[in-house]
Amino acid sequence: MREVLQVRYGEIFLKGQNRPMFLRMLVERVRGAVQPLGGEVWLSDGRVYISGASDTDEALRRVRKVFGVHSVCRSWEVDKSDFLGLCQKAAELMRGYTGSFKVNARRSDKRFAMDSPTINREVGGYVLEHVPGLTVDVHHPGRVLSVEIRDRAYLYTEPLAAVGGMPVGCNGRATLLLSGGIDSPVAGWMIAKRGVTVSAVHFHSFPYTSERAKEKVLDLARILSESLCGLRVHVVPFTDIQMQIHEKCHADYTTVIMRRYMMRIANAVAEEERALGLVTGESLGQVASQTIEAMRLTDAVAQLPVYRPLIGFDKQEIIDIAQRIGTFETSSLPYEDCCTVFTPRHPATHPRLDIVLQGESRLDGESLITKALQDREIFTL
């Protein structure tokens, strides 16, 4: 008899022929998450199991954050040929609880002598007789005691919900434009939740933005890297580009032109990273650069599709997720972002392409981009 964590997955079931690949990826991700705690991870009978971790609570905490995991429960693996032993363990699990319960048996090993209704009756009867303060309620039980008869038998009471989604690595690659704000870390987390491997680009305008601002972004990347299974961040110096835009372009257009340069550079980084999409934390109408018109003009310079997981979210909804995933506090530290340092008083909310192109024609675009890419720093977290 031993305690194991039983991990269930959700949507992978929908994947038909690709299912073995998704499962392999999930096992690998679960293994990666609990590896520092030791123990064994294996796939059996449509579930992933973990046993022998040095700290079961910590293993549970980590596994609940692995994308692709739908729920986890602490289970007892018992010898199914020892039915009395199984009943005794069931009683032990229910001891200390008072109120209504029911036994929910599932028998996937059809060679097992008892069918599910019989297991329910036998285990339920034993528990009722040996644990004081219990009643049976099959319709609205206060607690469900599950018995699964598989290769081995498993007993558990409370499955804990996990993050859901799909395992990172099963849905291609994308490059996130990561600022130090609240939104883009959430956007990166959300795209990774759908199984995408994420890399990131951050634009830094030293000395207008401080070393601390850069550190803050790397801290955010560190927080994200646990769920994202590692994160490479390209920190690109952006001061020269911003200065030229500031000097040579119409003040109201500096924001949209700056964002087009961000897109061009992010696109180049994405291609190096073999990514097939760009991701931003934009949400429609949140600020001047996030109108339909402005986003059309920024997308026009990207070769790759731009994904905006937060496009329909209100700020509060984004904050709620940021708090849940642990980025909110760091995002709220007060260091300036390069976007805010150079914000014009009246950014154009309905920018015109001809004015944008006119402004851009005054810049040494190609050489600025090449220089920025050359001078970037790369951090692997």
- Residue 265 is encoded by which pair of tokens? 């550079």
The count of chain residues that interact with ligand ATP, using the rule CB under 6 A, is 20
Could you say which of 120, 199, 227, 289 contacts ligand ATP (CB under 6 A)? 289
Cβ distance to ligand ATP smaller for residue 71 or 290: 290
Contact region with Mg ion (CB under 5 A), list: 18-26, 55-63, 171-179, 269-277: 171-179
Could you say which of 219, 273, 282, 337 contacts Mg ion (CB under 5 A)? 337
Question: Terminus-to-terminus CA distance in the chain, angstroms?
Answer: 39
Contact partner, 196, from Mg ion, ligand ATP, none, Cβ < 5-8 Å per class: none
Cβ distance to ligand ATP smaller for residue 124 or 185: 185
Q: Is 183 in the site for ligand ATP (CB under 6 A)?
A: yes
Could you say which of 26, 50, 127, 178 contacts ligand ATP (CB under 6 A)? 178
Between helix 183-193 and helix 315-325 the angle, nearest 10°, is 70
Contact region with ligand ATP (CB under 6 A), list: 115-123, 156-164, 221-229, 279-287: 279-287
Contact region with ligand ATP (CB under 6 A), list: 22-30, 127-135, 146-154, 174-182: 174-182
Contact partner, 276, from ligand ATP, Mg ion, none, Cβ < 5-8 Å per class: none
Rounded to whole angstroms, the Cα distance separating 241 from 245 reads 6
Q: Is 181 in the site for Mg ion (CB under 5 A)?
A: yes
Cβ distance to ligand ATP smaller for residue 68 or 237: 237
Contact 143, 101 (CB under 8 A): yes
Cβ distance to ligand ATP smaller for residue 107 or 260: 260
Binding site for ligand ATP (CB under 6 A): 177-179, 181-184, 201-203, 262, 280-282, 286-287, 289, 337-339
